[in-house]
């Protein structure tokens, strides 16, 4: 199977309607089961593998996702380039609702997640380089794909990964802002580092669903607001994926 791109879809992205001749593949990994079947199909004539991070019925909370099984399953299929699509809250000025951003840095605030393939009795410990957590070449391809079809993507930003499933307090977001975070989400880690451990190129397309706590005018963050903004932001994803595949061809 010569898969050009793997895609892990987050909140609001449970399938790729563009995929043709789709095959659902149930995989087992040494780390357990992924969130659901990997859907492999053709997108503009190229093989793409898609996995819904939270399961196709959004039944797996961020802190309970088996990130290792998800990344390993795609690796087993031969995925060498992986795009994570992540719903996020906006902290930085440029990161208002419905913005699409391609972050270049990460701060990991999660805890207790199985965050390494070394985290197994007897496994050899490796300290992977993570200076640039997202693969520069894949980020660049994605940004160029956006430019090709005149979709505005915000280039760069620091993704702060929180534990969830609850949203953050105003004080937590204020701290994250002081730390330099522009975006906040619950699923960016350990996915990015697991891809790195397996030598898979990885980039993230962040869809801003809401101003993070205390950043906008809203007194609280409602799921209606999140879903409405996600639905609006998701609209360009199919065209962006096609453009990315043309860049990768």
Task: Give the x-and-dash track for 139-168 against ligand HPA (CB under 6 A).
Answer: -----------------------x----xx
- Please name the residue that has the structure tokens 């639905």: 231
| 247: three-class secondary structure by DSSP | helix
Q: What is the DSSP secondary structure assignment for residue 210, as one 8-state letter?
A: E
Sole binder of ligand HPA in the list 43, 69, 87, 95 (CB under 6 A)? 87
Sole binder of ligand HPA in the list 184, 192, 205, 233 (CB under 6 A)? 184
Sole binder of ligand HPA in the list 49, 88, 138, 154 (CB under 6 A)? 88
**Which pair of tokens denotes residue 125?**
């410990």
Given the complex with ligand HPA, which of 79 and 207 has the nearer CB atom? 207
Sole binder of ligand HPA in the list 115, 153, 181, 209 (CB under 6 A)? 209
Q: Are 197 and 128 in contact (CB under 8 A)?
A: yes
DSSP string covering 143-201, please?
A: HHHHHHTT---EE--EEEE---SS---HHHHHHHHHHT-SEEESSSTTHHHHHHHTT-E
Task: Give the x-and-dash track for 212-231 against ligand HPA (CB under 6 A).
Answer: x--------x----x-----
User: What is the binding site for ligand HPA (CB under 6 A)?
Assistant: 87-89, 162, 167-168, 184-186, 209-210, 212, 221, 226
């Amino acid at each position: 199977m010569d898969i050009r791109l793997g895609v892990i879809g987050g909140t609001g992205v449970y399938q790729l309607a563009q995929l043709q001749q789709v095959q659902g593949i149930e995989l087992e990994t040494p780390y357990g089961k992924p969130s659901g079947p990997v859907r492999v199909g053709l997108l503009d004539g190229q093989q793409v593998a898609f996995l819904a991070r939270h399961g196709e019925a959004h039944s797996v909370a961020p802190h309970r996702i088996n990130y290792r099984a998800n990344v390993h399953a795609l690796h087993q299929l031969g995925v060498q380039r992986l795009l994570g699509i992540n719903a996020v809250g906006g902290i930085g000025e440029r990161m208002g609702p419905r913005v699409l951003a391609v972050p270049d840095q990460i701060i990991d605030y999660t805890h207790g997640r199985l965050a390494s393939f070394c985290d197994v009795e007897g496994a050899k410990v490796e300290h992977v380089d993570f200076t640039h957590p997202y693969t520069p070449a894949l980020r660049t391809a994605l940004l160029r794909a956006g430019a090709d079809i005149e979709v505005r993507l915000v280039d760069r930003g620091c993704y702060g990964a929180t534990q969830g499933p609850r949203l953050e307090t105003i004080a937590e977001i204020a701290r994250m802002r002081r730390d330099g975070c522009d975006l906040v989400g619950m699923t960016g880690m350990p996915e990015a580092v697991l891809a790195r451990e397996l030598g898979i190129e990885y980039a993230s397309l962040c869809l801003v669903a809401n101003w993070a706590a205390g950043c906008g005018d809203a007194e609280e963050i409602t799921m209606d607001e999140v879903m409405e903004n996600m639905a609006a932001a998701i609209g360009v994803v199919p065209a962006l994926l096609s453009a990315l595949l043309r860049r990768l061809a």
